[in-house]
Structure 1
Amino acid sequence: MGWKSKLSLLLLVGLICFLIIPAGNTIGNGKRIVRIAHSQSEKHPEHIGLLAFKKHVEEKLGDKFEVQIFPNELLGGQKKAIELTQTGAIDFIVVGCPNVETIASVYEVFSMPYLFASQKAYFDTMRDEEYMKKIYTSTDEAGFRVMTWYNAGIRSFYAKEKIEKPEDMQGMKLRVQQSPASIAMVNAFGAAATPMAFGEVYTAIQQGVIDGAENNELAITNNKHGEVAKYYSYTNHQMIPDVLMANLRFLQSLSPEEQEVFAEAARLSTDVELEAWDKEVENAKKIAQEEMGVTFVNVDMTPFRAQVLELHKEMLAKNPNIRDIYEHIQTINARDTGAKE
């Protein structure tokens, strides 16, 4: 049985289970089912982190809860899964920040190109738990609460043709996430930004609907995009975290002790995901080069950065909700590099 057939079977089984046992209900042993949905494969660091989440919850509260993880968009794409999480049909979802922008506009800041001066500044920002609590609770009014973040790597462009400078992108059609900032960024490079679901990217490149996309190295191997796009150019234009978002009613239904166990599980899942990420990136590059024939291209980021920095001013003017966190990040940038970006 091929991987597509196996995926279809998993999807069918997942949907049957989903329909038979509604979220919030108990199974025969009296345990409450806790559903977590995400769009990555079982090999992805986020899935590995969620397995640690599941293990911790069930070790501490195994007599009350059973955690079920649904990878590969088995319960729908991110937009659909967000809707299901809002209604309580799903309890937790891992989602990219661009998909949270419509819920809380402060998350738009993470789509800002070249926001962080370095990966260290990015990590220092996300590990500032006291500050990030203000961001995480900004979705409460919509019925969500962000529990933690996951490293989704540094985003760069990959395409059928080599990209070494912004001029190479002229006329290209490139997939972006459904984010105004990401769309404006790609258009500023002279390409045509094409928002679409992540699961559609492979076929779209293969059929010539788009020329490429932008993401981290794992998309090349885990999602097999390296089969249809042979050049990965290190523009390093965005560092956008994914977040683990919970249904707020579910969290509020827990006792204080149970809430702390789930919070501990979330923090642990991030630690595990971060450790797995670096290993997976190196492995992905090796597989992409040796087995898929992908060429990794180091580029001068200066002209790319210069072409989109004006977007910072435009975004700050249009969205006052990002100003505080933007200034907070600039302080971290200055502290970590000795000079503001």
Structure 2
Amino acid sequence: MNYKLILIAILFASIISCEKVDDTKMLYLAHGLPQTHPVHKGILEFKKALEIKSGGTLKVKIFPDAQLGSEREVLELLQIGSVAATKVSAATLSNFVPEYHILGIPYLFRDKQHQFDVLEGPIGKSILEKGSKFWLRGLCYYDAGSRSFYTSTKAIRTPEDLKGLKIRVMNNQMAINMVNSMGGSATPLAYGELYTAIQQGVVDGAENNPPSFVSSNHYEISKYYTLDQHSSVPDVLLIGTKYWDKLSDEEKIWVQEAADESAQAEKVFWNNSVEESMKIAKEAGVEIIIPDKSLFAEKSKSVVEEFVKEHPEMASIVEQIKNQ
């Protein structure tokens, strides 16, 4: 653990020790998103619902904007019990809980309905529970949209159009393999460097969901947005088991119910954000392209095959999702 995490852990220990001893329990929830983000708005609904259900005996204090560190750092704080809860991408969580890798498989879900039928059903709940052995109990999934390609040099209408293009991806092996399988050149790059990289031609484009495409201002320099929706990796609301195990059975019910209600509210916030983002992009002159997604899915089949080969213990889960 690095010195930053140690200092934060000491700080929270001192805060907790100085709190007034009464019937109130404080739940510290940290995440890396800005307060304008639809997922943050969903978290506010969690806070409101939990405080109402508990009659004020469970209170939530939110630390947004990465105040307490990166997603990985906050996950480590959960594991040692310095922070109670967080929201992270399933992609980040997969480095702690292997089963979350499944949710990053390209074209795993047929559409949004299929995705949440899976996530909110037995399969999704089973994956949430897998994290408990790593001290990271999943409560619910938040909609984080679908990632699609955007470029500054030319439009992508078929997978063949990706050939020769340098596409920025997260430093995630599945994302790298997916772009390469379609003929592109996957280029891992820090998100904060991406605007300049596109502007200077270091990369030809990237991939992300509409709200991120607009909030990052990438729409200003990338005038082609291809809605191939190759991956739909959700966000996950987590609670550390060190905090969870101290709750009474009734308190655990309140926390889970509040999480489930916030997940439904967050979907509405997300859809509204997507609509607004697409409107802004169109008005700025971005060409929105609706491709034949089956062509892209066919090209990326090798990524799925390789994943199943490397993780045979997860093959049955992948098959169940496809057949649901």
- Could you say whether these structures have the same fold, taking a TM-score greater than 0.5 normalized by the shorter chain as the test? yes
Range with bigger deviation, 44-53 or 227-236: 227-236
Aligned amino acid, residue 182 of structure 1: A
Q: Deviations over 1:83-139 (max 9, x none)?
A: 2222223222211111122222221111111112222211211121x3323211211
Equivalent of 2:302 in 283, 303, 310: 310
Q: Deviations over 1:52-101 (max 9, x none)?
A: 10111222336444312223323222222222222223222211111122
Query: Could you tell me how far apart the structure 2 residues matched to 1:283 and 1:23 are?
Result: 43
Aligned amino acid, residue 40 of structure 2: H
1:99–1:178 Cα contact (<8 Å) kept: no
Name 1:148's counterpart in structure 2. 140
Report the TM-score when normalising by structure 2.
0.88
**Structure 2 vs 1, CA of residues 158 and 114 (structure 1 numbering), >3 Å: closer, same or farther?**
same
Report how many residues are paired: 315
**Structure 2 vs 1, CA of residues 21 and 317 (structure 1 numbering), >3 Å: closer, same or farther?**
closer
Name 2:237's counterpart in structure 1. 244
Aligned amino acid, residue 25 of structure 1: I
Aligned amino acid, residue 172 of structure 1: L
1:330 aligns with 2:284: no
Equivalent of 2:91 in 78, 87, 98: 98
Range with bigger deviation, 37-46 or 263-272: 37-46
Q: Deviations over 1:9-36 (max 9, x none)?
A: xxxxxxx999754487166555543222
1:27–1:33 Cα contact (<8 Å) kept: no
Equivalent of 2:270 in 277, 287, 292: 277
Query: Could you tell me how far apart the structure 2 residues matched to 1:281 and 1:193 are?
Result: 26
Q: Deviations over 1:209-261 (max 9, x none)?
A: 43322111111223322233222111111122111122111111111111111
**Structure 2 vs 1, CA of residues 83 and 201 (structure 1 numbering), >3 Å: closer, same or farther?**
farther
Stretches of structure 2 lacking an aligned partner (at least 5 in a row): 1-6
Query: Could you tell me how far apart the structure 1 residues matched to 2:317 and 2:234 are?
Result: 15
2:181–2:302 Cα contact (<8 Å) kept: no
Q: Deviations over 1:157-189 (max 9, x none)?
A: 112222222232223222223332111001112
- Matched position secondary structure for 1:268: helix
Alignment of 1:190-229 (within 5 A): 190-229=183-222
Equivalent of 1:74 in 39, 61, 67: 67
Query: Could you tell me how far apart the structure 2 residues matched to 1:243 and 1:223 are?
Result: 22
RMSD: 2.4
Aligned amino acid, residue 294 of structure 1: V
Query: Could you tell me how far apart the structure 2 residues matched to 1:100 and 1:268 are?
Result: 22
**Structure 2 vs 1, CA of residues 102 and 181 (structure 1 numbering), >3 Å: closer, same or farther?**
same
**Structure 2 vs 1, CA of residues 328 and 86 (structure 1 numbering), >3 Å: closer, same or farther?**
same
Aligned amino acid, residue 284 of structure 1: S
Stretches of structure 1 lacking an aligned partner (at least 5 in a row): 1-15, 333-341
1:126 aligns with 2:119: yes
Name 1:25's counterpart in structure 2. 16
**Structure 2 vs 1, CA of residues 28 and 137 (structure 1 numbering), >3 Å: closer, same or farther?**
closer
Aligned amino acid, residue 152 of structure 1: A
1:21–1:27 Cα contact (<8 Å) kept: no
- Matched position secondary structure for 1:25: helix
CA drift at 1:42: 1.7
Name 1:296's counterpart in structure 2. 288
Query: Could you tell me how far apart the structure 1 residues matched to 2:168 and 2:296 are?
Result: 18
- Matched position secondary structure for 2:160: helix
Q: Identity across aligned pairs (percent)?
A: 35
Report the TM-score when normalising by structure 1.
0.84
